[in-house]
Every structure is written in structure tokens, then in C-alpha cells.
A and B are shown apart, each in its own frame.
Chain A
Amino acid sequence: MSMKTFDTVTQSLINRAEAMGIETGINRLESQLPQCGFGQLGSCCRICYMGPCRIDPFGDGASKGVCGATADVIVCRNLLREEVGGAASHVGHARHVVLAFQKMLEGKAPGYKITDRNKLMDIASRLGIKTEDKSDIEIGKEIVGKALEDISNQNGEPMNWLKLSAQSREFEMWKEQGILISNAHNEIEEAMHRTSMGNDADPVNLLLACLKMGLVDGYAGLHMATDFHDILFGTPQITTVEANIGVLDKDKVNIAIHGHNPVLSEKILEWAFKMKEEAKKRGALDINVVGVCCTGNELTMRHGVPLAAHNLQSELVLITGAVDAMVVDMQCIWPSLAMIAECFHTKLITTEPFVKIPGAIHVPFDVEHADEEAKNIVMMAIDSFKERKGEDVHIPKEKSVGFVGFSVEAIVGMLKKIDSSDPLKPIVDNIVNGNIYGVVGFVGCPSIKLRDTFMTEKMTKELLKNNVLVVTTGCTAQICIQAGLMDSSATDKYCGEGLKTVLHALGKAAGFDVPLPPVWHMGSCVDNARIGTLLGALADRIGVKISQLPVAGSAPELVQEKAISIGTWFLALGLLVHIAPSPRILGSPVATNILTKDLENITGGKVYVELDPIKAAAGIISHIKHKRTELGI
């Protein structure tokens, strides 16, 4: 039996797995405990073969590696390599989408089209592309050219997407600090180079490189991916969806889409709709596409697809025995899924040439043949449904509902109904009068180490009680929707009086007969770009730097390297970034001091580590209070 206790749905499926003798992450974590102290502090160096070297955190043993690297050098090099892992994932994701868009423009990917023409034109104009007398295809090609320059430029000019998406106050601050970036691929290459044996040994210089990697992630990753997603598949609008594993339906063909890239999942959804009749012929009521992890968030934001599971539940959704096919693309896909799928009729289908799992079926997906391949995959799921007959299925009944689709465009559109000439005014006024005490962005993953403490839910409720509005993305958003925090009923249940008043008024203005929820789902993890855009717009409207706003970021249950690079981008923007569990920096006094204290004098941002949810919320609120005092409100 597991030593931890989770929410009812998660727990019931863990119990089922244990009864069936199927191992899950919970069991594997227990067999990993206690975890290595050097690893947790970041003070183990495996970069060269004179090592591995470890620095004794208690000062009793080695204080330097074989090459002479101190704990400061080792920690900062390791941190930068973590940043590279995160930023490379997002830049790779964005590049994949840009190239799909380019193929579509060249007529080679007939399954795709320009869905949001307004966004296309908006980006073109902000990139300085002249649009008169040009077709959408021509404009699109010029946009692609600008995007590809950001991974090919050798002239040292600042990246197009950084100029396009960042505010001038932050741009000037980065210029002054010498951390503007020109080419994402060069930065990734240089970061790997400078951290290899015998290069950069200045911890401060390495930490500046970390900030640059944060900008790489923010602009060549997050912003670029979100912009092209919106052009290709549409910009999200506010809608309601159902969530939790209970959205599976035993009488339907259940297809769980898992991963991050909507280029694949959009086509699966389209073909699932087109092939309903095939499914019915084989005895199913319908085809039920449900979302896991961030590609789930992408589909829910644009099409209201039910959100079945966050990353930690990706194994458990298979334990139901009701999933006919799980189709995955890239990132956060646990190798264990193949071993679990094998215990049922479930087909695990991998689609990316660089993401293969032994035991899974590999269907290489390329955008040129998207329709054929998506149809083929959906057909495999329908066939798999037939094999399910007679198998024992356990779908927990619990489901929740919530609002999703809070893109900046959707928020501004809603606010325009109150003040069409100055849409942000109602938000700014309510921040000034304290009805909205502050805004906190929750990002990241569900941590297997903290999930049983209900870290995210407890922190969120504590912030709402203190009139802090919460915006969220990624799997953290799924935790919130499952906890009912995105339902309009949460507003009266959890919010302080001021925030309650604002959300009631906004709900009315938006034309809903209920208040808006207190936690806004802004999308997948690349959609942290939307949080950046919102903060930039607010700062611009008030005429201050982002670092002066009464806001903060939090990765309350850090798992992925991507959360490290997103968090670093937030630090570069000047935000307080709360992180739990601790990032692997505490082995270095220099890194710890700079990241938790001195950085505030440079970008305005700083790291705040706290594992207790109530204390963490209190720490964030005191930061917001300080920012409000400085603004004189």
C-alpha cells in the first residue's frame, strides 16, 4: 500500500492498480526514497570523466571538484543545463508548429488552414510587415521568414519575437544588463558549450546565461508557439468544459490525447468527429476524445474537449481499462505508459520520430499526410474498442465543470463590453481600489512529492480569500478545474468580498448569468505567453515596469525542466517566483543568494522557496503588499 493519500479519484485508481498488481509512479517514488542529497542540492557534477565529483554540503569532505570547480560553479552549470532542457523543448515545439504552418502555406499540408486571420494580420503589423496588396499566404510566408530568422540569425540583432512580444521597459532593462538574445539555437549551443569541462567558471556569468535562456524560452518558445497555434487553430474564447477521469464513457470509443502539440491532436479530434458512423457500426455510441496534459489543454481551450487527466494521472487514466487508444506526441510522456497499456486492451500510439517507447505502436505523423494518418489512428482506436468487450472497466464517477478559454483576446473582448475605448480600465481601477489585491500566475505540473499535501489547491484558496485573482496554465490548471476552482460557484465559496464583487460584475458584463470563476484557465504550458502578454498590457496601461505590479508567479509543484526555464523567464520579467520543491541550487551559497535576494536589484525578480502552502501564500501576499505600497496604492 502507498504511504500517501491523494484526492478520491486518484486514490481509487491507485487502489485499483495496487489490487491488480500494476506498479505506478507512487510505488516507484517510494522505492527511490530517500533521494540523493548531492542531487537535490545540485552539487554533483557529471560533466567530465575525471568525475563524478560531489561537494560536501557540510564542509567535512571535498570542497572542489577534480578540475577545481566549486559548489557555486557546479550548481550554476547544472542549473543552466536544466534551463537548456526546458528551453530546447519549447523552442523545438514552436519550430515544429512554424514548419507545419510553412508547409501549409506552400500547399504541402492540405489538412491545415489559417483559422484566425485577425491574429495573422496583428502579428504581421507588429512585425512591421507591410500587408497591402498581399495575399494571406504571402503575409504568412513573411511571418514564417521572421520566425525562422530567430533560429538562424548570425548578426547579433535582438530576436524578432522578443521585439514583437516584450514591452519596451523590459527590453531596455535587458539591453542594459547585456542579456538580449539574437538566435535561440545559438544560445542553446553556447549554453551547452560554456558548461562543458573547462569553460565558464564564473557563477555570476553563468546565472546571467540562465536569464538569457529564460528569454529564449519565453520568446522563441512560448510566445512563438502560442502565436502560430492561434493562427492555425484559432484564438481561444471563454467556454465551459467537464474535467476529471470521469469524462471517460464506457459506451464510447475513448481516445486520450496526451502530450503538447496541437498539430497532431487537432487532426485526431477532427477525424474522430468525421468517423462517428464507423464507431457506431462497431457498437460504440460515439467517439469520445479526452485531453491529458497540455495537448488536452490546447483542445479544451479551443474546442471545449473534456479534460481527463493531468500529468500525474496519465498512468491512472489507463488503469480505468476504458481507454481504447492513447495518442501521444512530445514531452511529459512517461515510459511506464507502455507497460500499463500492456495490462489492458489499450493501444499506446507514439507519433513523433524522436519520442518512441518500446511496447507502443509507432505511427510516424507528418503534416503532409496529416489526414490519412489521423484517420488511420482513429480507426485503430475504433478497432481497439471492439477488443475491450467483456473487460472490467472502472471509471470513477466524479467530474467537475469549469470555465476555460481565457486568452488575452477573450479577456480584452469581455472587458470591452464595459469600456470599449479603454478595456483594461476596469481591471486597473479594481487593482487600485484593492478589490483585486493582486494577481498570481500558477504554472507547471502536479508533483508526485507534493500532490498529497494539496499544495496547489490550498495555496489557491488562501490567495482567493485574500482577494488575489489567480490565472493558471498547464497541468496546474487541471488541478484547479478538478478542485472546482474554475466553476462560477467557487467565486462565492472562496473569494474575499472585493474579488467577489469584481467577478460578479465581470460575469454580468460578459453576458453570463453567473459570476466569472476566480481562477482563469489561460491554456497549455506554452500559453504562459498569454500570462506574459497580460502582465505586459497591464504594466503598459499603468505606465510601469512589470516588476512594479502587485503580481507574482508560482510553480507550486515543480517537476519538469520546462518549469525551470519558464520560471527563469518570469524572473527576467521581474516577478517573484515561488517554487516548490526547492530547485537544485541550495548547494551553492552564491546561486542561493543571487537568486533569492540580489537578483531583485537587477531585474526585480527573485526566487522564493516554501513547501508549506499556507506559508507560501502568506509570503506571496506580503510581496504583493510591498509592491502595492511602492506604487502608493
Chain B
Amino acid sequence: MKEIFIDIERCTACKSCEIACAVEHSLSKDLFSAIFENPLPVKRVYVEKAFLFSYPVKCMHCADAACIAACPTGAMHRNHEFGSVVVNNDKCMGCWMCAMVCPFGAIIPDYAVKTARKCDFCPDRLKEGGKPACVEACPTNTITFGEMKDLFKSKRLLSAERVAKAVLVQEDKEVTPLEMLRSIENI
């Protein structure tokens, strides 16, 4: 099951994910047409500021989702094809329980249609074997999409490299980055 992984260190706050998300949720799915639609399409990802960092806040499609547990009508449910947490608008009564229990603030009350609005994991794209719109739009690979075990593996490799580099610097060895990588592999 593929999931979203967010690396806060890479986010430049360009908001490309926000635009791509709104376009994906438009009728035309084209930027130049979407801006003329009525009603205007709405995004489901929010780039927020924290100290010197910025971070694209969105639904993490939690494995044990509080919003599903809190939903009194069963509107909030799991899509087993993609492992995503999604709203059935027909069942949603706009009590906002899901929004209240979401630890990320990623669920927003949509007063116009009286239902909860959140990331739906771009099902049209996933059905065609694609990536969610925010992932594709991110120019710095802050938001990536893949098997969680691969995403964590690459993160572990990076931290291993970082530690190894620190050791090499401490020992004052003059080596090229390639030699550094080789010595890391040989350990």
C-alpha cells in the first residue's frame, strides 16, 4: 500500500501543492480553466509556517483514524483499495466531530455543502497508476509517495550517511564524497 511521506526539511513554501490540489478538485482539471469555474475549486492541503520551517499539512490517512472512530453516521470511512480515509457526502451530516478530533487540522467544515472536506488521495490518479497531484507538483520532493518501508529505508540510509560523515570529519580524513559513500557501504 503506497502512502504519503513528508520531509519538512525540504519544503520551500512555494505552495505548488496547494494549487495542484485545487486544480485536481476542479471540473476541468486544467489551471487556466479552473480559475474561471463557479464555484471555484478548493484545496485540501495547507502550507503552514513553524519557526524557520514550512510544512504542507494534509490528511495523513491514519492507520487507526480518530475521525473514523468519531464519526456518528459512518460517513468517514476507509477506502480499502488505496488505504485512504474518505468522506461519503451522502452520509455526512456536518457535525464536524471528525474535524475536532483530527490531530492535524486537516479536515475543514465545508459550510456550502454542509459536509467535511479533506484530502481524498486523488483516487482518479491512483486508479491510473499515477501519484497524488500534490506529490507530482512538489518541485523539491518534500511530499513523496511510495511504500512506507521503502520511504523509511531511504530515510535510515540518509541518517546512516550523516553519522558516517560526521565520524569521517572528526577523524580529519580528506576523502571525496564518493570514497565516503564507498566506505559507508563497506562498513
Residues of A within 8 A of B (CB): 34, 36-38, 40-41, 54, 56-61, 582, 586-587
B16 cross-chain contacts in A, Cβ below 8 A: 34, 36-37
Decide: A40 and B14 in contact? CB cutoff 8 A.
Answer: no
Top 7 A-B residue pairs of the complex, sorted by shortest distance between their CB atoms:
A37-B19, A58-B22, A57-B35, A58-B40, A34-B137, A37-B31, A59-B40
Other than A38-B15, A60-B22, give 5 A-B pairs with Cβ distance below 8 A.
A34-B16, A36-B139, A57-B34, A57-B35, A58-B40
Report if B23 contacts A (CB, 8 A): yes
CB proximity to A under 8 Å, residues B117-164: 136-137, 139
B137 cross-chain contacts in A, Cβ below 8 A: 34
A34 to B22, CA, bound (A): 14
Decide: B31 and A58 in contact? CB cutoff 8 A.
Answer: no
Report if B65 contacts A (CB, 8 A): no
Asked, given contacts A57-B19, A58-B43, A60-B43, whether A36 binds B14 with beta carbons under 8 Å apart, the answer is: yes
Report if B51 contacts A (CB, 8 A): no
The interface bits of chain B over 18-51 (1 if a CB of A lies within 8 angstroms of the residue's CB, else 0) are: 1110110000000110110000111100000000
Q: Which chain A residue shows the least CB distance to B22?
A: A58
Decide: B35 and A58 in contact? CB cutoff 8 A.
Answer: yes
A41 to B36, CA, bound (A): 12
Decide: B40 and A586 in contact? CB cutoff 8 A.
Answer: no
A582 cross-chain contacts in B, Cβ below 8 A: 32
23 CB contacts below 8 A, A to B, read: A34-B136, A36-B14, A36-B19, A37-B16, A37-B19, A40-B31, A41-B35, A57-B19, A57-B22, A57-B34, A57-B35, A58-B19, A58-B34, A58-B40, A58-B41, A58-B43, A60-B40, A60-B43, A61-B15, A61-B18, A582-B32, A586-B35, A587-B35
Q: Which chain B residue shows the least CB distance to A40?
A: B31
B18 cross-chain contacts in A, Cβ below 8 A: 56, 61
A587 to B42, CA, bound (A): 16
Q: How many residues in B have their beta carbons less than 8 Å from beta carbons of A?
A: 19
Asked, given contacts A54-B15, A58-B40, A58-B41, whether A34 binds B35 with beta carbons under 8 Å apart, the answer is: no
A56 to B41, CA, bound (A): 11
B139 cross-chain contacts in A, Cβ below 8 A: 36
CB proximity to A under 8 Å, residues B45-100: none
A59 to B32, CA, bound (A): 15
A36 to B18, CA, bound (A): 11
B22 cross-chain contacts in A, Cβ below 8 A: 57-58, 60
Asked, given contacts A41-B31, A41-B35, A582-B32, whether A34 binds B40 with beta carbons under 8 Å apart, the answer is: no
Q: Is the interface of A mostly helix, strand, loop or mixed?
A: loop
B15 cross-chain contacts in A, Cβ below 8 A: 38, 54, 61
Query: Distance in Å from the Cβ of B96 to the closest Cβ of chain A?
Result: 18
Query: Distance in Å from the Cβ of A580 to the closest Cβ of chain B?
Result: 11
A60 cross-chain contacts in B, Cβ below 8 A: 22, 40, 42-43
A600 to B14, CA, bound (A): 37
B35 cross-chain contacts in A, Cβ below 8 A: 41, 57-58, 586-587
Query: Distance in Å from the Cβ of B180 to the closest Cβ of chain A?
Result: 25
A56 to B23, CA, bound (A): 12
Query: Distance in Å from the Cβ of B160 to the closest Cβ of chain A?
Result: 28
Asked, given contacts A57-B35, A586-B32, whether A37 binds B42 with beta carbons under 8 Å apart, the answer is: no
A40 cross-chain contacts in B, Cβ below 8 A: 31-32
A586 cross-chain contacts in B, Cβ below 8 A: 32, 35
B34 cross-chain contacts in A, Cβ below 8 A: 57-58
A60 to B137, CA, bound (A): 19
B136 cross-chain contacts in A, Cβ below 8 A: 34
B31 cross-chain contacts in A, Cβ below 8 A: 37, 40-41, 57
A58 to B26, CA, bound (A): 10
Query: Distance in Å from the Cβ of B117 to the closest Cβ of chain A?
Result: 11
B19 cross-chain contacts in A, Cβ below 8 A: 36-38, 57-58
B43 cross-chain contacts in A, Cβ below 8 A: 58, 60
A587 cross-chain contacts in B, Cβ below 8 A: 35
A57 cross-chain contacts in B, Cβ below 8 A: 19, 22, 31, 34-35
Choice from A37, A41, A54, A59 contacting B20 with Cβ under 8 Å: A37
Asked, given contacts A41-B35, A57-B35, A582-B32, whether A34 binds B20 with beta carbons under 8 Å apart, the answer is: yes
B20 cross-chain contacts in A, Cβ below 8 A: 34, 37
A587 to B34, CA, bound (A): 11
Query: Distance in Å from the Cβ of A608 to the closest Cβ of chain B?
Result: 14
Q: Which chain A residue shows the least CB distance to B20?
A: A34
Query: Distance in Å from the Cβ of B42 to the closest Cβ of chain A?
Result: 6
Query: Distance in Å from the Cβ of A125 to the closest Cβ of chain B?
Result: 49
Asked, given contacts A586-B32, A586-B35, whether A37 binds B40 with beta carbons under 8 Å apart, the answer is: no
Choice from A37, A38, A61 contacting B23 with Cβ under 8 Å: A37
A586 to B15, CA, bound (A): 18
Q: Which chain A residue shows the least CB distance to B19?
A: A37
Query: Distance in Å from the Cβ of A596 to the closest Cβ of chain B?
Result: 12
Q: Which chain A residue shows the least CB distance to B43?
A: A60
Query: Distance in Å from the Cβ of A540 to the closest Cβ of chain B?
Result: 39
A41 to B22, CA, bound (A): 14
A59 cross-chain contacts in B, Cβ below 8 A: 40
A60 to B110, CA, bound (A): 12
Query: Distance in Å from the Cβ of B55 to the closest Cβ of chain A?
Result: 16
Query: Distance in Å from the Cβ of A34 to the closest Cβ of chain B?
Result: 5
